[in-house]
Chain A
């Protein structure tokens, strides 16, 4: 009885849509409904694979994801290790409070801040560059900049919060290890390297696997907000394309097919990475 309301809602909004996935294989029209729409097999998938958007969006999604992962994954670990070895308890608290804060800024505000700061006319960044005699850059229109802006603003926003989980893992390290190491004459840096780092390795591996599994499901929200006509060739990713095809052009079957392709790749990646991690380190999700 306790679980019923949750299960009903989850069933309706998570399982029924799975059933609706079949419109990827039908030419869906709202009038005929799911069952009445004619079966077209893989037509929409083939259309996507042959469309020029296929390579662009796939490439953009991959590059953005991998760049985010490479830049965004190690930094929270380093931050947690440093915070953990930092002896100033009070100051540490202040740093933690401040670095966690950006995590609670909404995506819209984040995008708004970026656009304000990077504005060619009044943005503080260009103001700063002009001090060094660098001419004003219209960052948001600059294709080469877009990925850096996306990824590093993400690092700015999430590093602190992502470090919490590693910091928690470090809190679980028994002080006896450190005491013993001190007796043996280990320096602080050696203790960080040989006691603390191995302690968070399992947590890090699990998170890495999970992150790789979602490599193509990179957030729609921020990319969509930072898009404009000038940077679209690098900023159009699969999820934003799915949205535009489905709800702006109302081509629902095509959009669903693209989304399904995306999920399939994700699932494949997850299994592959998990298998690799299992072989290499014995850590696995299941």
Chain B
């Protein structure tokens, strides 16, 4: 089956991201396809490039990046929710006259239309709330 995940919970402040990552791995282990993870609401903070948790805690960005590297899972971040929260890639940083950037590939800033397409295009969308 084709799965998708909508993540609304921020990293380390809610369990949502850990639950979603674990669910994603279980979906793939059962032979399904994961068409994408969409980050929205506080979930966009999972894309923070500078995330630096203590070494004895799971590194969420590394977890998401691993999912993309191993299985090619697209990591889609709502651009409107991200910009409000200070999350932007190099292109947006330039556009907004900011020094430095807080989001990088394989995370991609995209619009909510992608969430709609993902949700209606896949067989199962599972939301992990804050």
Q: Are these two chains actual partners, yes or no?
A: no
**Which B residues contact A (CB, under 8 angstroms)?**
none
